Structure 1
Amino acid sequence: MRKQVTILALFLALIVFIIGCAQDDTTSKDSQASEDVVVKIGVQGSGGLFGKAQEEKLFEKAFAKYGATVEWVEFQSGPPMTEAIASNKLDFAGLGNMPIIAAQAAGIPFTVISQVLEGKKNVGVVVNSASGITSLHDLVGKKVAVGKGTNAYDFLLRGLFKEGIDPEKLEIINLNPDEAQAAFDAKSVDAWAVWEPYLTINTLSGKGTIIADGEKLNLLSPSYQIVRTSFAEKHPDLVVAFLQTYDELLQWELEHEEEAVNRYAKERNLPVALMEETRKRARGISIPVSEEVIAEHQRTADFQFKIGTIRKEINVSDVFDNQYIEKALKL
């Protein structure tokens, strides 16, 4: 009997030891969850706020605390960014409302973690100053450049419908910003629906005139910061660190406005006055997404479904999550 008790005691001790080892191993894995992680950050074009971050390795320093490194990936517009997220080739992206709506409708797993542009004046339609075009109605029968699937494409369509104009009566040409700028300069298109800084670049230079923007038409085109959902679930601390670093960059802009404007103007080989105007029209923010903005985003999604741009109805609130920005800003 004593021998059986001893064997049982040894068996129980062995079980406790194995469980303890498993817990230690799990704890070890959790503590190293971010180690060897390469955080892929998407940017649209070079320079700007992220250009400063890259130069000073601000995100690299923030993520190094967690054993993670950074890879920068450049894009010309939003839709390719969501495609990269879908294939696990991108973790963070800042983009407008339409690419986000299309991505959700396509079942791409992402989460909106903050709002980065208000959306009143950052998107619009610019025309050649000598064209005589003064309103959206004047675009009937004209060639209009726009990147299909972008927030500018959404703005153009919503603006036309709001003004009672059939988009089929326009010749809408799908061009990325570089192609559209060349076409606009050559006057091979009559108008261009696009975002900042292209609006200001073409107006202050005297080439173009803005005939519609969100403020004039009372249409919001906000931009957001998004993250690949599985990345956020595995590395919530890195998401918070990303947002904290982005907020630090915005604070630098506010405290060093003249330096920031001069820097950005030099990067784009533009006059300082032009860059100052660009910042007035599209000043960066980093805030939780309000219920009002989500409601407007839902109306945009409903409109896109109605006209057939997306093939299914979506509940946009499913992809918004303010917990990370609230932690980052300590709200």
Structure 2
Amino acid sequence: MNKFRFVFAAILTLSIVITGCASKEADKSTSAAATPSSKKETSYEGLTVNIGVQGSGGLFGKAREEKWFEQEFEKLGVKVAWAEFQSGPPMTEAMASNRLDFAGLGNMPVVAAQAAGIPFKIISEALDGKNNVAIIVKKNSSIKSITDLKGKKVAVAKGSNAFNFLYRGLETGGLKGTDIEAIQLQPDEAQAAFETGGVDAWATWDPYITLNTLTDKGTVLADGGQLGVLSPSFYIVRQEFADKYPDLVTLYLKVLEKSRLWEDSHLEEAQKRYAAEYKVPLPVIQGMRTRSTGINIPVADDVVAELQKTADFQFEVKNIRKKIDVSKVVDNQFITEALKNKLP
């Protein structure tokens, strides 16, 4: 199942898990902050932009193959370096040490990074988070609603988007965290426990949702859209980079939008490409897209409000050490400009 967890992270550019590190390429490249301009602040001389991705394919795969980012940035004399990660938290850690300028990641790493004082800005929304995280049960389970989870064993990966979704979801059914027996398991272990009946339910993300529903091993008890508990993902930029090079932030989003539009207009080709890249059945790729289609739009007020609920909850359960105002890190000026003047 490891390959499927990797697929999700690669295709959506974000996921929603906990470990990993920067690639050797990122370590060798010169970050924007580590290479201050010898001329004016607006000069790009000697500048290398470090772009973080989760996995080597997916949405960014075509762009990297065609060198769309390199072509546009090199027009300004700016080089591009790529850094591959397995999840979001290592991305924010790399940003904190000035080794990464751009990243795409889920709501949990964003909240944790802000609480840790890492300087960054959210520059667009990457995923609406309605259906990409869910609680699943066996197809013949007697559990039919959230309230039926009382006294049951529920598998979940602590610190993941699913962890946040599960505990906030319980509240919608009038339950508390103490009303269930949470079994802390990573996806590989949780899959086995789910299949053998070691747990009664599983709070997880795609591709595990799609894999289990496609094979009739499980069914969705509730997802974000049903409970009103969303797990959105975002594109972020290192704060110092945005302050120094705002035009390059806009350019990054323009090329990203070009990549997204290519996928939309070549969907069959793109999905076959993804299936071949990661050696998984095409229906898995197709199913994942129906649950979570990538976007690149300004962060709306209701999304900010939902992210604030996540931050407040994480503070209440002591996963973060201080209260934060998530609106302080949201900056829509770059995506607004990027969408006004799209690349051909």
TM-score by length of 2: 0.79
* Distance (Å, rounded) in 2 between the aligned partners of 1:114 and 1:193: 26
Q: Deviations over 1:136-181 (max 9, x none)?
A: 3343444433332222221111101221222124333444445544
Highest CA radius of gyration, 1 or 2?
1
**2:113 matched residue in structure 1:** 103
**1:242 matched residue in structure 2:** 252
- The equivalent position to 1:149 in structure 2, one of 156, 159, 163, is 159
Unaligned runs of 5+ in 1: 1-25
* Distance (Å, rounded) in 2 between the aligned partners of 1:47 and 1:180: 26
* Distance (Å, rounded) in 2 between the aligned partners of 1:79 and 1:220: 19
The residue matched to 1:158 in structure 2 has which SS? helix
**2:80 matched residue in structure 1:** 69
**2:303 matched residue in structure 1:** 293
Residue 166 of structure 2 corresponds to residue 166 of structure 1: no
RMSD across aligned positions (CA): 2.5
- The equivalent position to 1:42 in structure 2, one of 31, 53, 58, is 53
Q: What is the identity, as a one-letter code, of the residue corresponding to 2:48?
A: V
My pick for the range that moved more, 164-173 or 102-111, is 164-173
Q: Deviations over 1:113-146 (max 9, x none)?
A: 0011112112111233355433333434444333
Output aligned runs, 1:1-331, within 5 Å: 28-30=39-41, 32-33=43-44, 35-43=46-54, 45-65=55-75, 66-75=77-86, 77-181=87-191, 183-184=193-194, 188-330=198-340
> Number of residues paired by the alignment?
304
My pick for the range that moved more, 194-203 or 279-288, is 194-203
The residue matched to 1:42 in structure 2 has which SS? strand
Q: Alpha carbons of 1:78 and 1:131: their partners in 2 closer, same or farther (altered >3 Å)? A: farther
Q: What is the identity, as a one-letter code, of the residue corresponding to 2:216?
A: G
Q: Alpha carbons of 1:149 and 1:138: their partners in 2 closer, same or farther (altered >3 Å)? A: same
In the alignment, is the contact (CA less than 8 A) between 1:42 and 1:91 conserved in 2? no
* Distance (Å, rounded) in 2 between the aligned partners of 1:319 and 1:256: 34
TM-score by length of 1: 0.82
In the alignment, is the contact (CA less than 8 A) between 2:51 and 2:103 conserved in 1? no
Question: What is the Cα deviation at residue 55 of structure 1?
Answer: 2.6
* Distance (Å, rounded) in 2 between the aligned partners of 1:28 and 1:150: 43
Question: What is the Cα deviation at residue 243 of structure 1?
Answer: 0.8
Question: What is the Cα deviation at residue 325 of structure 1?
Answer: 0.7
My pick for the range that moved more, 105-114 or 289-298, is 289-298
* Distance (Å, rounded) in 1 between the aligned partners of 2:298 and 2:48: 26
* Distance (Å, rounded) in 1 between the aligned partners of 2:336 and 2:123: 9
More helix, by proportion: 1
